[in-house]
Structure 1
Amino acid sequence: MARANAAYYAGRDPFADFVTAPEISQIFGELLGAWSAVVGREVLAGAAGSCSGLLLVEAGPGRGTLMADMLRVLSRVAPDLMAGLSVHLVETSPRLRAAQKAALEPSGVPVFWHDGLESVPRGPMVLVANEFLDALPVRQFVGETTGWRERFVRDGAFVLSDMIDPPAELAGREVETGEVAEICPAACVFVRDVAERLCVGPGVALFVDYGTAVTASGESLQALQDGQPVSPLVKPGTADLTAHVDFEAVARAAMATGARCFGPVEQGELLVALGAVERARVLCDAEPDQAGMVRTALGRLIAPERMGRLFKALAVVSPSRLAPGLVAPPGFPEGTAYDREGAG
């Protein structure tokens, strides 16, 4: 899956196959821009004495639409943050880097590209990742009477292989014949790496993706080609491969570092809390002839039967000693925070 998706994003326009929230409505990026203004000020307050400005980082920035919308709002509501702000995009596709450059040049903000998180400079940070974790490779295991076997792809077909050392995620888990267990080590590693940074310097990260609030059995690997579902076994690099994000697993990976987690909350719940309905009303009043399109787009983002419930958001925050003002980021009630004994 990893090599197939790398080839896919390098050689194709992924937005011919799917549409992300920032492409559906400007409201999404505008609200995250306002959210970043609030948490960004708290992050910089925790970095007292640091001479560096705020690092605004995005993983998987697509065409740059989300970041462009965020910067437009930040320049209007938080000019104090813009003075030393720099943008850092984790992106490997030359095609998408070119689109991002065109989208962000008008902002006048310095933009830097990185192949991975490791080259992003250290400093007070706000990181956003929308529909990024779902594209990372998963591993699948099938329960049989003899135990777990791992599912691989060989010669265009799924095959099962015995395991010598099952992954830790399966340790102690009862095996049911025919059950499929799906894990995404890459997602946990990325979120853990972000959290480790947040334990050294002040910052906050926001992950928005589709998936489950708690770990669940079943397979979710799917492929899209030309906007239509196809078999995940199609020719590598011709379809976008995604899988549901296990938010409980990635939250626990983050908390293991000492970082704090809030959520997940449903995307609809978060956007409504941040003012999505009110922002849509303003846009409708300003452009009455576009009101129908604005309302339709808002419905796609927040309606439970659309993206509102399936998509979820998780916030990862520095320990209190580094970001004392960040108790619960906007849109994240304190009662939704995971603890180390169970998911809340």
Structure 2
Amino acid sequence: MTEQQSPSLSEIIDMQIRTTGPMSVATYMGLCLTHPTKGYYKTDDPLGAAGDFVTAPEISQMFGELIGFFFVNLWQQMGSPKEFTLLELGPGRGTLMADILRVACRAEGFRDGLDLRLFETNPALIAEQNARLEPYGAKWIDGFDKVGPGPLLVIANEFFDALPIRQFVRDTDGWHERMIGTNNGRRVFGLNPTPIPASAMPEILGDAEINAVLEVGLASGEVMNRLASTISTQGGAILAIDYGYARTQTGETLQGVRRHQFADVLDAPGEVDLSAHVDFEALGTVAAKAGLAIQPLASQGQFLSRMGIKERTSALIAANPGSADDLAAARDRLIGPDQMGTLFKAFCAASPGLQPPGFE
């Protein structure tokens, strides 16, 4: 059977539902985003004006430059190790890492000790990353255990929001997992008839209202656990910047985006970007259990301001006065409370004793 004749992702999903019954939201998200040949992150480049969304590194070089200073500071606090791994999860076009390394490699010894690893599954994006990062000898990995023996520094910008979540809905007899099935040829949401034991749900949700929705990122927890376990042994830190909330809470945040517009999450599998807000408290709990120190969560605006984005903007304007308006607009988009500054959060878990900059 040729690729043209092979079933579409919609057909594959519907066939699986007919064969094995309704699937969890997590299973559906996993198929939509990472199906080996038809998943959203396995096909075209989703970034930029021609794609489905724009990320902070595409808005301004200042974002990556300040993160470069962040990692140099930590590297120096660790005694400038002669061997260390810098790992990016979901590196996009390689823009963020190129900006990070343009700054970080100015620090004497940083480039010599650098072992650059990239976790990426999209062939089109890997090609773009290679074009930008080839001078640094990047290596692409498909597992979080494939890092070098030295300290591990991790950057994850808009990565955790794209990992599959499970959803649970409060009913009169307890919590039920939300499932996806079909009805009259259309995919629809429904509930697993068997309630989840109350002991399996967080205590703080005991008085949740009927129809309240709890989203649980088991995949995010697993990724954090693997990274934190490595860092607890080898030293280092993970910096995650994403949209999310500081405390575990109810609320439905699963969303679809296509061509910069919201889209129905059940329509056009593989063609719509699916994501959900990150539960940073849950990530912190996992990292703390592995022995890492969790920094107070900061908004993206707070983090970038503490790292000096206003001063960096002024310096760039002084060097490029004709671009003053564009530079100021980019700064405001990154830190403005009504833009990315408040919705996006900066999370850091690090080896005890390190003092990551940008956090109180």
Seen in structure 2, the aligned counterparts of structure 1 residues 292 and 149 have a Cα distance that, compared at 3 Å, is same
Partners in 2 of 1:167 and 1:196 — Cα distance?
29
Which residue matches 2:129?
Answer: 100
Which residue matches 1:212?
Answer: 245
3-state SS of paired residue (1:249): helix
Aligned residues: 319
Which residue matches 1:291?
Answer: 324
Which residue matches 1:170?
Answer: 201
Which residue matches 2:42?
Answer: 10
3-state SS of paired residue (1:113): strand
Which residue matches 2:88?
Answer: 58
Alignment counterpart, residue 261 of structure 1, candidates 273, 291, 294: 294
Contact 2:176 2:196 in 1 (8 A): no
Contact 1:148 1:162 in 2 (8 A): no
Aligned-pair distance for 1:115?
Answer: 1.1
Contact 1:44 1:124 in 2 (8 A): no
- Tell whether 2:181 aligns with 1:154: yes
Counterpart of 1:26 in structure 2: which amino acid? Q
Contact 1:220 1:244 in 2 (8 A): yes
Contact 2:169 2:177 in 1 (8 A): yes
Partners in 2 of 1:169 and 1:302 — Cα distance?
38
TM-score, normalising length: structure 1: 0.89
Which residue matches 1:75?
Answer: 105
RMSD: 1.5
3-state SS of paired residue (1:281): helix
Alignment counterpart, residue 148 of structure 2, candidates 95, 110, 121: 121
Asked which structure has the greater CA Rg, the reply is: 2
Alignment counterpart, residue 255 of structure 2, candidates 194, 203, 222: 222
Partners in 2 of 1:167 and 1:254 — Cα distance?
25
Seen in structure 2, the aligned counterparts of structure 1 residues 92 and 329 have a Cα distance that, compared at 3 Å, is same
Partners in 1 of 2:189 and 2:265 — Cα distance?
10
Aligned-pair distance for 1:171?
Answer: 4.6
Contact 1:203 1:318 in 2 (8 A): yes
- Tell whether 2:234 aligns with 1:201: yes
Counterpart of 2:144 in structure 1: which amino acid? L
CA deviation vs aligned residue, 1:51-75 (integer Å, no higher than 9, x gap) = x612111011000000000110112
Aligned-pair distance for 1:168?
Answer: 6.7
Aligned-pair distance for 1:166?
Answer: 4.7
Which residue matches 2:117?
Answer: 88
Which residue matches 2:71?
Answer: 36
Which residue matches 1:132?
Answer: 159
Aligned-pair distance for 1:40?
Answer: 1.2
Alignment counterpart, residue 272 of structure 1, candidates 283, 294, 305: 305
Q: Which runs of 5+ in 1 are unaligned?
A: 334-344
Partners in 1 of 2:342 and 2:318 — Cα distance?
28
Contact 1:263 1:313 in 2 (8 A): no
Partners in 1 of 2:197 and 2:125 — Cα distance?
37
Counterpart of 2:118 in structure 1: which amino acid? L
Partners in 1 of 2:202 and 2:194 — Cα distance?
13
Which residue matches 2:16?
Answer: none
Contact 2:177 2:195 in 1 (8 A): no
Seen in structure 2, the aligned counterparts of structure 1 residues 190 and 224 have a Cα distance that, compared at 3 Å, is same
3-state SS of paired residue (1:306): coil
Partners in 2 of 1:282 and 1:270 — Cα distance?
19
Contact 2:175 2:196 in 1 (8 A): no
Contact 2:32 2:270 in 1 (8 A): yes
Seen in structure 2, the aligned counterparts of structure 1 residues 8 and 26 have a Cα distance that, compared at 3 Å, is same
Counterpart of 2:43 in structure 1: which amino acid? G
3-state SS of paired residue (1:116): coil
Contact 2:174 2:196 in 1 (8 A): no
Partners in 1 of 2:99 and 2:79 — Cα distance?
22
Contact 2:299 2:342 in 1 (8 A): yes
CA deviation vs aligned residue, 1:237-283 (integer Å, no higher than 9, x gap) = 00100100011111011111111110210000010000000001111
Seen in structure 2, the aligned counterparts of structure 1 residues 84 and 261 have a Cα distance that, compared at 3 Å, is same
Aligned-pair distance for 1:169?
Answer: 5.7
State which drifts further: 23-32 or 179-188: 179-188
